[in-house]
Structure 1
């Protein structure tokens, strides 16, 4: 039996027992142990992410540790309410019945984590899965090997082996896991692999949550505060060296503000990372040689076809370093404009007609996030109404990921389903309706049909409209 099949079989064996014995109190206790283990291993976490991605310690704390601990705290606080039986009022034709909704765990679930936030996006969904009462197999990304090994170590140290299993490995391991009949699959990664996951899930009719990506645009209005917009865009774009699914992908700026905005961007990059970002202790590295060559090649191609390099462009293959890079006049058919960049490269596109910008966004694949910088409330409302995206940030980037009272997820090519907080709990739960007959008048509606049945049916129809 393969490690994938063995892990699935071991966890599946406890499904029936967990439905009755894995109470809210026990789930909270498990989550508390996980939080304690994460806090105890902060130094190891920072070392692993430094090894895999060159992440600065502060950035690890902000983007990896705090989101998980916040998810645990928020979930533990609200879990009793989320997991409780909810009574719902009867509709007119159901007078005389009593109806409730009972959340129950889906069973044994699979979490396929990505490499860009390899701790947060492995353990964050696990919090929701445990909160909902499930057992889970977690498959960390092999492209972040130090963090993958640490995830396995953390889980083994604090979670029961019949509740959570970590299975490490590459594509072959992921394929073997996808062949198992999991009850739900939670995948974070690219749209291309998301389609593979969804096709595998279809074979067993497993439900899925897909957190994907796409080219998240930024739109500056004519009245945008250029300095504040530049600061937010630089932070959102260059954190984790641009390897963030909701990072700004490109910026649309009114032509009259193009020079002012790019000047402000240069100033913000220098303020955040110094005159030599390569020497900065605040700037991460690209994940691997293949990804480094891909992103550097996109920059080289764009410049070779007429793009203007405003700042950056420096690269060092040995350390997988690519400087924070800003370009203008990027050709529309360049790879930078066709593909999700997923690196520290930001095209700035001047526009004359906002309507044409909005039409272009709507004509493309739906992005995971869209960012607007403006003061005019009517303009903000117009952009929100004219576009479709997983989320919208107004005068802010990235921060909606941290808001646990908001669902996080995409639409269309950028994802399916939602996560975080209550939405994460619901993703891993089946909301089972229970209808109890107390004194409903149903007998006259049963065969054999006579005059009374006909009159009663007409009466009910008239009452319901």
Structure 2
């Protein structure tokens, strides 16, 4: 229409220009100083402090996320990430002195952490503040320039991030690109020094394929079917409350580390179902569709996907609690299903929603085979007081992270790496691990002009060969024998 301003098009040319601009800034050395890194981390902390209510409102708009969840699970964790980085950064940046060997005597050596360069962060919609800015904290702390691509599925938060980062951060080094598939594709065509992607395995493969063209290293934070194994030797009330907190208290199940399904014994399953019902009603009332403490399903596509899982013939008769839905509100009530067939859709796709199937086994040890027969999950949970079972679980289950007698809380421990394994992801972050994710550890060896040994130079001889073998072996006695026979 006449009079309308043309929209800015972000295509491959614009992406290339942006990447060149940020690379130029990085090569100037601006981002490398301790002072610049601290200034940007403080600016990010101020951004969150100054705009907490606006952030809560955006999350409410995108996901109907309860303010409590927004403050604790997004804002609080992000602020803690900034504070940990500010407190530890000087230590993280210091070169690490390491030992040398007799082969290089006299010498000294160190490992020097250096920024990779220009990073691309592609974030997810379910925790759109935390999953956007927590990797950015690591990229900045490590001294990189960074481009953030928020998810278009959470548009209010994406728009807010673009506005606030443009206002608070150094725009010569930190930029936001909004948009959808076309903009992401344009960005992925460029050469980056690190790509950090949070999302599903299907797009993760696309990201990794694009990165391979430039030999760009990646961190892929994906998902998977995270199991919760429940023993009978537990405090059932506490266990039920913690399962509910990890499942429905995390974005109504729309979280990569929410318990995806439960494994328990046939004998114990009815008791567990009753306990979960009781606590769910305590938390969300008799009509959970009216609860203000549950997030909605993010959009109609995901609502349709979840109802398809729920309405499959193999599954529809297995609902023992919940199942109510309201498409106009994009709400699905917390739903428990018992003895779901293992060949059903719900047991072969990541659920990412408020549906919790329970499968039963004769002996709890059989649960290990069930878990290990599938792809490696991002998280795995065990509820038990049995010491031997805890040890077997820790040794026998391969997952991104394990938690015993709770769910999801390992996410909040900054001294633990958070990441996947196999199908659930590549690489890790949080705390020092975020700094490391965007850092190259450069080996540096220092020598003087003293101690120059003729043995390393031609002409070679049998005696030199014997001595070099002894030097490589690092044996003082061997060196003496080589020299004196």
TM-score higher than 0.5: yes
SS at match of 2:467: helix
Instruction: State the structure with more CA Rg.
Output: 2
Change (3 A) 1:223 1:84: same
- Indicate the residue corresponding to 1:82 in structure 2: 92
Is the 2:101–2:474 contact (alpha carbons within 8 Å) kept by the matching residues of 1? Answer: no
Q: Deviation digits for residues 163-191 of structure 1, max 9, x if unmatched? A: 11100000010000000100000000001
Q: Which residue of 2 aligns with 1:173?
A: 183
Kindly provide the CA deviation profile for residues 80-132 of structure 1, in whole angstroms up to 9, marking residues without a partner as x: 01011111111343332211111111000100000010111001100000000
Is contact 2:105–2:451 with CA below 8 Å preserved after alignment?
yes
Change (3 A) 1:457 1:266: same
Equivalent position of 1:116 in the other structure: 126
> 1:18–1:134: 8 Å Cα contact kept in structure 2?
no
1:458 CA drift (Å): 3.1
Shift of 1:430: 0.7
- TM-score of the superposition, structure 1-length normalised? 0.97
Distance 2:435 2:120 in 1: 15
1:388 is displaced (CA, Å) by 0.3
RMSD: 1.5
Deviation for aligned residue 1:441: 5.5
Give the Cα–Cα distance (whole angstroms) in 1 for the partners of residues 266 and 34 of structure 2. 56
Q: Is 1:452 aligned with 2:463?
A: yes
CA distance in 1, matches of 2:67, 2:292: 9
SS at match of 2:429: coil
Give me the whole-angstrom Cα distance separating, in 2, the residues matched to 1:442 and 1:50: 71
Mapped to 1, the partners of 2:413 and 2:371 lie a distance apart of 25
How many Å apart are 1:422 and its aligned residue? 0.5
Q: How far does the alpha carbon of each residue in 1:406-455 deviate from its partner, in whole angstroms, 9 at most, with x for none?
A: 11000010000010111100010111111112355654122221133122
Match of 2:294 among 271, 283, 288: 283
Taking the aligned partners of 1:262 and 1:282, their CA distance within structure 2 comes to: 21
Equivalent positions of 1:66-77 (< 5 A) are 66-77=76-87
Structure 2 Cα separation of the partners of residues 136 and 392 of structure 1: 31
Out of 431, 437, 460, the position equivalent to 1:427 is: 437
Deviates more, 1:442-451 or 1:415-424: 442-451
Q: 1:440 to 1:235 in 2, by over 3 A?
A: farther
- Structure 1, gaps ≥5 residues long: none
Aligned residue in 2 for 1:101: 111
Q: Which deviates the most, 128-137 or 34-43? A: 34-43
Change (3 A) 1:462 1:64: closer
Deviation for aligned residue 1:151: 0.6
Looking at structure 1, the residues matched to 316 and 307 of structure 2 have their Cα atoms a distance apart, in angstroms, of 16
Are 1:306 and 1:329, in contact at CA under 8 Å, matched by a contact in 2? no
Instruction: Kindly report which structure 2 residues correspond to 1:343-362, keeping only aligned pairs within 5 A, or say none.
Output: 343-362=353-372
Distance 1:319 1:7 in 2: 39
What's the CA shift for 1:353? 2.7
In structure 2, distance between residues paired with 1:264 and 1:33: 46
Higher mean C-alpha displacement, 430-439 vs 121-130:
430-439
The reply to whether residue 64 of structure 1 matches residue 74 of structure 2 is yes
Structure 2 residue 336 is the aligned partner of structure 1 residue 336: no
Correspondences of 1:33-52 after superposition (within 5 Å): 33-52=43-62
Q: Hey, what does 2:408 align to over in structure 1?
A: 398
Question: Is contact 2:103–2:472 with CA below 8 Å preserved after alignment?
Answer: no
Is the deviation greater in 455-464 or in 406-415?
Answer: 455-464
Match of residue 373, structure 1, among 370, 378, 383:
383
Name the CA distance, whole Å, in 1 between partners of 2:91 and 2:220: 26
Q: State how far apart, in whole Å, the 2-side matches of 1:92 and 1:252 are.
A: 56
Query: 2:138 matched to 1:128?
Result: yes
Give yes or no for contact 2:379–2:401 (8 Å, CA) kept in 1: yes
Matching of residue 313 in structure 1 with residue 326 in structure 2: no
Partner of 1:266: 277
Q: C-alpha deviations, 1:289-334, integer Å up to 9, x for none?
A: 00001011101115x5464211110111111100000010211111
1:250 — aligned with what? 261
Alpha-carbon shift at residue 4 of structure 1 (Å): 2.1
| SS, match of residue 447 in structure 1 | coil
**Number of aligned positions between the proteins:** 463
* Aligned mates of 2:114, 2:235 — CA distance in 1: 48
Deviations along 1:209-247, one digit per CA (max 9) or x if unpaired, are 010000000011231222111111111011201000000
| Residues 1:8 and 2:19 aligned together | yes
For residues 258-315 of structure 1, give each alpha carbon's deviation from its aligned partner in whole angstroms, at most 9, with x where no partner exists. 111000101111111111112111110011000001011101115x546421111011
**Is 1:18 aligned with 2:36?**
no
